[in-house]
Every structure is written in C-alpha cells, then in structure tokens.
Structure 1
Amino acid sequence: MDRMSATDAGFFFAEGENTPMHVGSVSVFEGPAPTYGDLVRLLLGKLPQVPRYRQRVRTVPLHLGRPLWVDDEHFQILYHVRHTAVPRPGSAEQLRNLAGRVLGQRLDMAKPLWEVWLVEGLADDRWAIISKVHHCMVDGVASTDLLQLIFDVDPDAPHPEPTGWTPEAGPSSVATLVGGVRELVEQPVRQLTGSLRHAAQDPADLLRRGRALGSLVPGLARRISTPTPRSLNGPIGPHRRWVWVDATLDEVKRVRRAHGGTVNDIVLAAVTTGFRDLVAARGELADDVVVRTMVPVSVRRPGEHGVLDNQISAVFVDLPVAEPDPLIRLASLRRQMDEHKRLMGVVDARSIIAMGEFVAPTLMAVGTRAAARTSQPFMQVTTTNVPGPRRPLYVLGRQMQALHAYVPINMGSRVSIGIYSYLGALTFGVNADFDAFPDVDVLADGIREGLATLADPTVSPVRRAT
C-alpha cells in the first residue's frame, strides 16, 4: 500500500473550507494557443510517467493510520483539464483576477488532487496555463519535476501517444484498517530502533545534536516575546487577493556584488521593505516590532528528483521591519540565515521530519486541522523561494515567457509569498486573505521598491550593523 508520509498527511489534514492547501502557478506563453484537445492529448500521453496524477486519497477508518494513495477507478482527464478565456483586452490584471478566483477554489478531495486550466485571450497573442496541485502531493522541488508532464526543453520534442490504462484495485476496508493499526504499532518502533542504533554507534554526534537543539530554545523563547503586528494574524475567509511582482536576477546580482548575501537573503530583504511599508501604513510600526516568516527549506539530497512526497523542513526568520536602513536589514537577515544554516548542518533535518512518524495519525488529523484553523501570533507570513530552470521551457512548441507562483495560507497567517526564478526573471507571487488585505498592493509595491533600493549603486554600505 502506498501510504502518505507524516509530512504529507499533515498537509492533507490541514485542508479546510477556508484553507485550501494546494500550490499553484500561472505560466504565460507566446502564441498562438494550442487547442484544448491538443493539451488533453499531451497530458494523457505523459500521465504514465507520474501515476500519482491518476490516484486519489483514501483515508483509514477512525484515522488509525496515515491516508493511502489508490488508483481512481473513475478517473476522467476532462474533469482535471479545463478551458477558459479572459475578456478583451486580456491585460495582466484580468489574468490575475481570473487566476485568483481559480486558485482560491478548493480541489475536489474525492478525486486526484490536481487541475490544469488553458487560458486564451491574453494581449499580444499570448495564452496561459493555470495549474493547481495539492501540497500533500508535492513540495516546491518535486512540483518542478512534475511540470515535466507539460513542459519540454526542446520546442520540437516528440510526445508519446495516449495509451490505455487500467486502474489497480484498492485494498478492502478491512485490509486498510488492519494495515493502519499495524503501522500505528510498528512504525514508531522502527523509528525508535533506528535512532537508538545511531546513538549507540555515534554517541558524540547525538550529543552535538542535543546541544544544537538546546541552543534553539532560548532563541525561540525570545522570538515569541518579540512584538509583531496584530493585523497580520487572525481568522481566514474563503476568498483571496493574489498579485505578483516582477523583478530580474540582474538586480539580485548587483546587490550581491555590492553588499554580499545569498539570493534568499536578498529576496527576504525586499520582502521586509514591503512589510515595513504595509505595517507603517496600518499604523502598527514600532521600534521593536518584527514580522516573522516561515521559510521552507528543502532537505533533499543533491540530485534527488522524481520523488513525489514532501521533503522539506522550515526555519523561522524575523523580518526587521522597524529598522529604517535597508542595508542593516539585509545584514540582520544574513546573520539569521547563516545561523540557521549552521544549526541545520548539525541537526539532521531529515531526522526531525521523521519524528512526525511517532505522532498517532488520529491525533495528527485532529491536531493539524485545529492548528490550521487557529490563529497564532508566532508567524505572520510564509516565504518560499523556488529556483526555476535557467533555460527556456516549451509547451507544444510554444515558449514560456513567465511563471508566477501561488502558495497557500493557513494557521491564522493571512498572507504568503511564493518566489520563482526563470531565465533572467524573478517573480514574487503574493497570496492574501481577501478581507484582511485590501491594501495588498502596498505590500507588493514595497517589495518592488525594496529590491530596487538595494540594487541602487548610490546606496552606502552598512556601517553600523552589529
């Protein structure tokens, strides 16, 4: 039986009426648009490469075990591939409005958890693809791999013809329940046995990890006591505002040459400027206030691709919105990220993720759903940076011009930012609760201004950072 990992099950159980947990994107292409039939045939020909696209989720009775992936005996690709158009003139704003409505709607949890929309009518003879995939199915790195279902690196690439498919019969209800109970007993034992064996073989390494984890506690306590803007946390409604910010990798390179830092450091500094403007406009800017972001990090091994479950951990970073100097803000973010890298080098992130296997699935289902619906003041935003390909991508011979990422929101955090790079472009996709963010453009404009300021050669180096 193909059972979800603990991390994937957490994303599945976090799904709720006002908290759809799919990731998505909008890809814009040069014209002319393919026909709907051509796109359907393209996907049908490539689906055998990723069986998960024809599987649905089957839960275990009473949640006595993590959910299973089983073939959908009623799979119909015409349900998952859809066709629409924007009205004239087909502006970027009209595409954003359409995409915001499509991406804000929940997937049907009884069917395979993905959708693809063909969008025609864009200005300048362009067209688009809106894609949605549930977070329990992929993370940012794996979803880049899944795009190979649609994208080619060669405009003249041949495409396989669609073939027949027969679904495999799923396990009986009794077998599902028995397997769940067995997992409930055996998995923690296996995990504990492996941990004890490792401790016996290398007790010094265990001690180093314990000290590293212990060093996290004072910092965590300090962060919890640091004030954050109250308006950024709260109940989440069913509707979304989604905008994107366009930038270039050349700007990031100019910042790196002048002031140092990684791409992650620099994009977080730009996001900090956006939140500083937003918090100031809301009258919540104070001397010691911060905006705390969760930054997912991949724990995949180098060269590990084609794995369709989530291989991610996360770090928490305080965006220093109270600091007026943009270069001091950048220096602060560099220090925080460097410290996280140091600790992640000592603490095995894979082992931390594996600790989720100890959580009883019934408690995971209840706890994750409760957390997803409960406002918490600890974190205000999720910021995800996914590096995309550095060479052109094509769909049915048409080159992709841009891609904009969509990251879900939940747990009382009313905004998320998905950052994606492609060729020389860099885009920030800002997804926010509709009612809580009527001023989402203030955040977006501030991100754009923040990166431009850092890339300005007249900005002086940091002199008073500590």
Structure 2
Amino acid sequence: MDHLSSLDASFLHLETPETPMHVGMAMLVDLPPGRKGDYYEEFKAMIAERLHLTSILTRKLAQMPFELAEPVWIEDHDIDLDYHVRSLTLRRPGSMAQLESLVGRLHSSLLDRSRPLWEMYVIEGLAGGQVALYFKAHHSGVDGKAGTEMAKVLYDVTPEKRKVPPPRRRRETHGYQLGVAELLQAAVSNNTRQYRKLAELLPAAAKAMAAAGRVVSSQRTAPGERPLALGAAPRTMFNDAITNQRSYATLSVPFPELKALGKRVGGTVNTIVMTMCSIALSRFLKEREGVPNEPLIAAVPVSLRSEGDDSMNNQVSMVRVDLATDIADLAERFKAIHASSEAAKAVVRELKPMLGVDLPVTGSPWLMTSMATLYGRSTLARELPPMANVTISNVPGPTQQLYVCGAAMVGYFPVSIPYHGSSLNITVQSYAGKSLEFGITSCRRVLSQDEAHELIGYLRDAVDEIAKLPSVDGSAAPSAPAAAPAKGALAARKSGSRRKTAA
C-alpha cells in the first residue's frame, strides 16, 4: 500500500458534488487514410495491454477508519475496462463546438471512488473523420507533469504500436479490502515517519525562509514605483461559488512563433501567456461589470518536481502573479507582469526545500471536507476577499509527436479545475514543440459556453496586440503569429465572436 501525501489527499478532501477535483485532456487524432476496423475496440485492447505500465490505472483508494488519517492506494486486480473506457458519437455535423460542449459535460461528473480514479472516452462522429479522446483522472493521483509522464507510457512516438512486455504475476497479500487494524497501523507508522522527516527539515526550512525573505526584501520597490501584489485581489464575477456544470473552450497557437515573440519583446512564453490573459480578461470584464481599479491577480501553480522525477503524485505549489490590468500602456503592463512573475518564481526557488514537506494533521479528511462544504454552500465565496481572480497554469507538454493506435495526435488540449471563489481556470500546455494549446474550464453558470468562446476570441486578438509592442533591440515588429489553422474538426473562430453550440 502507498500513503497519499497531505497534498495529494487534499484534492480528495476538498472535493464536493459542485467541485469535482479531476484533471483531463481532450485530444484529436487523425486516422491513417484507408484505415479499417473498430478504433474503439483497438484502443481498449491497447489500454488493457498497458494497464500495468502506470500505477494511475491500477490503484484505488482505501479509506482510513473514521477518516482520522489520509487514505492509502492499493492495487485493484479486477478492473472493468468496459466501465473505464467508453465510446460516444457526436451528432452531425460533428463540430469542434459540439465536442467542447460534450467535454464540459463529461468533466462535470465525479469519479467513482470505489474504482481506480480515471475514465477514458473515444468520441467519433467528428467532421473530417477525426477521432477525439477525452481522459480524466483524479488530481489526488496526478499533477500536470505526472500526466505528461503518463502520456509517454500510454502513447507511441511512431505510427507503429510498440511491443509491451506482459505484467509479472503478483501474489495477493490481502483481500479485496484491508482490515481495520492494518489500516490503523499503517496510519500510525506513516504519521511517525512524517513527523520525523519534518523535524529533520527544520534547519533547512529556517534557511529557506531567510533566503526567501532576502529575495522579497531585495525586490521591494522605491517610493512611487509599482509595489509587489501582496494584498487581496479585487472582486469580479469570477469570484463566486460554483455549480458542478462546466463550460469548456480551446485555442491552439503556434509555439515557435510565440517563443520568438517573447524573445523579441523582452519576456518569456509564460509572460506572453499571462499578458494574453490580462488583455482578454480586461476586455471581457469591460463589456460587462467593468474592469476593477485594482489589478487582477492570477493564481499560478508552479512545479516542485525535480528533474527526472516521474512519480505519479502531486509536487506543486501556488504563487500569485500581478496581471497589471490597471496599466493602460501595454508595454508597461507587459514589463509589470514579467517582473511579478519572475519575482514569484524567485521566492519559490528559495522556499522549495520546505514547500513540498508533507504535514500530518490528525482528522484532516473530516475537517477539510466539512470546511469545503461550508465554503461552497454559504455566501463565503462571495463575501470573503479573494486571493486571486483566475487560475492560470502553464504546463510543459510532450516534446514529440504522439500516436495512439497508429493515429497521429494533432490536438492536445488540457481540461482543468475551477473552484469556489475562483470559477475560471485557463490552462496552457505545449505539444511537440509545435503548438501551445489553451483550455478554458469554468463553471457554466458563471461563464457560459458562448462566453467561453468569446474569451477565446479575445485571447486570439491579444496575440496581435502583443506583436505590435516595440522590440527590445529597437527593430521593427514583424507580423503577429496567427492561431493554428483549422485541422479537420478544429474549425477556425472569428475573434470575439459569440455563437450557439449544439451537441
């Protein structure tokens, strides 16, 4: 058995019917010309052959008695693939808008905790003959980087499916469920180990805190200059309690051009992404409730994973980045966003030794679940000062072209988690060095499907605006990188347009 860390388990404890805590991917694949056979059956057979290659697909939860400690992962040797791998077909015309709406609905439902916490869908009926794949797994067992590692296991890098050695036979050491005594003994042993590790890390933690303090102090601004964003965020329409219903929309932007644009205007790809979101959110709010006088703040997950670590768990923390929406001049806004992002990353680098520490709390499952329910079903999410307005995550994706059962993957869009008080999540993931794939996931009551498409249009327009910024070397600005062209069902959208969807 494997104990969940306090961070992994928190995604279970914070889950409510309104806030499913799973992450996912919506993928598009091109079938080879003239291909025959049932792609769904072939895909399911491939999964069956490779189940043993990643623990995410074969482990399930065993809860502690009375929820006094974190649960454990145990192996499940009776996996029902017909339940976990499902087939769906879109109605005609099979547009990308229909697929996005369907993914939003599939992402709304909770995973069954009595089974391994994942589901896959093979979705046919797309215009142009493409096939879509939607995969979701609980965040308690996988973060963005671990998901990328899993992709290397499940997918191929050539059209030919690689041969996978069969699993070794394992002998059962326990029954279908663990006994109460065994679970309690494991909980005591795990807590003892955690406290011992915590004590050993105290000297390093003190040094890290001092170093982080020096970084923050060195970045304090002079009188009259823009301060670091350390206070509460302004309240917007996105800072509200949510339902379990989801809206979802996607955008693909050429990665090499975006990388070149960042270098030309004096920032990173991450700065470009943050500025795109700043421009799009400003325009979206301006047409509704107005843009707050104070700058919008983004909550940005940062990975704590060491190089070469492919363990299937969560190693992540969160920083806040100033989106500088109160600055009208785009060049100055870009600089402010870049400075805020770099300052946040500098603090994380210093605090990294202590950010990943596993802190044991007796009774935390019961306590956290109760607090999450209270927060969502009261008016607290609407009344408490928000710490951030939107979640923006930039995850490095697969660096190679991927294939699934001989079909080339041409779209690799992330699907993520909105939560009470932060109902909008914009996640960005690179794919094969070719494109940067945006996935907007939100509560449908806060951001409708049409409004999600509208925000996508504003993100597309934002690239053109950033491309007009002066170069750091004083050279003339080249033309803006266009969003990726339509690929079969991936129909191009007009910037800022509203449209009806049907699924």
TM-score by length of 1: 0.89
Shift of 1:340: 1.5
Partner of 1:445: 457
Q: For residue 313 of structure 1, what is the aligned residue in structure 2?
A: 317
* Equivalent residue, structure 1, for 2:180: 173
**Aligned partners of 1:165 and 1:52: how far apart in 2?**
18
Q: How many Å apart are 1:120 and its aligned residue?
A: 1.1
- Residues 198 and 359 of structure 1: CA distance in aligned 2, closer, same or farther (over 3 Å): farther
Counting aligned pairs with the same residue, the percent is 27
Question: 2:163 is matched with which residue?
Answer: 159
Provide Cα deviations, 1:5-40, integer angstroms capped at 9, x if missing partner: 111001111111010011011110112585222111
338 and 122 in structure 1: CA distance in 2 versus 1, 3 angstrom threshold: same
**Structure 1 pair 34–391 and aligned structure 2 pair: CA distance change class (3 A):** farther
Say if 2:343 is the partner of 1:334. Answer: no
The correspondence for 1:425, drawn from 424, 431, 435, is: 435
Deviation at 1:294, TM superposition (A): 1.1
150-159 or 132-141: which moved more? 150-159
Note closer, same or farther for the CA distance 1:213–1:452 as it changes in structure 2 (3 Å cut).
Answer: closer
Task: Single out whichever of 171-180 and 215-224 deviates more from structure 2.
Answer: 215-224
> CA separation in 2, counterparts of 1:295 and 1:27?
24
CA contact (8 A) 1:5 1:66 kept: yes
| Cα RMSD (Å) | 2.9
Unaligned runs of 5+ in 1: none
Q: Deviations over 1:49-101 (max 9, x none)?
A: 11331211111112221111112354211110001111222211111122111
Aligned to 1:436: 446
Between the aligned partners of 1:414 and 1:326, the Cα distance in structure 2 is 26
* Distance change (3 Å), C-alpha of 1:168 and 1:22: farther
Once the two structures are superposed, residues 220-267 of structure 1 have per-residue CA deviations (whole angstroms, 9 ceiling, x without a partner) of 9964345x2431111101211101122111331342232111111110
The aligned amino acid for 2:294 is: V
1:303 corresponds in structure 2 to 308
Q: Could you say which structure has the higher helix fraction?
A: 1
Unaligned 5+ segments in structure 2 are: 474-503
1:163-191 CA deviation, whole Å, 9 max, x = no partner? 6866652431121123224434x145313
Residue type of the alignment partner of 2:463: L
Do residues 77 (structure 1) and 85 (structure 2) align?
Answer: no
1:250 equivalent in structure 2: 256
Asked if structure 2 preserves the Cα contact closer than 8 Å seen for 1:234 and 1:412, the reply is yes
1:43–1:149 contact (8 Å) kept in structure 2: no
Q: What is the CA-CA distance between 1:114 and the residue it aligns to?
A: 0.4
Structure 1 counterpart of 2:461, one-letter code: E
Aligned length: 453
Shift of 1:427: 1.7
CA contact (8 A) 1:233 1:380 kept: yes
| Separation in 1, partners of 2:108, 2:402 | 26
SS across alignment from 2:18: coil
Q: Which amino acid aligns with 1:336?
A: S
What code does the residue aligned with 2:443 have? D
- Kept in 1, the 8 Å contact 2:322–2:341? The answer is no
Contact 2:16-2:372 at 8 Å conserved across structures:
no
How much has 1:213 moved relative to structure 2?
Answer: 7.7
Cα distance change of structure 1 residues 6 and 215 upon mapping to structure 2, 3 Å threshold: farther
Secondary structure of 2:128's aligned partner: coil
Cross-structure match for 1:241: 247
Cα distance between partner residues in 2 of 1:94 and 1:434? 15
Q: Is the 8 A contact 1:290 1:320 kept in 2?
A: yes
Counterparts of 2:207 and 2:264 in 1: how far apart (Å)?
41
Equivalence map 1:321-400=2 (5 Å): 321-347=325-351, 349-354=352-357, 356-357=359-360, 361-362=364-365, 363-367=367-371, 370=374, 375=381, 376=384, 377-400=386-409
Deviation track 1:303-336 (CA, whole Å, cap 9, x = no partner) reads 222x001011111112122322322221111101
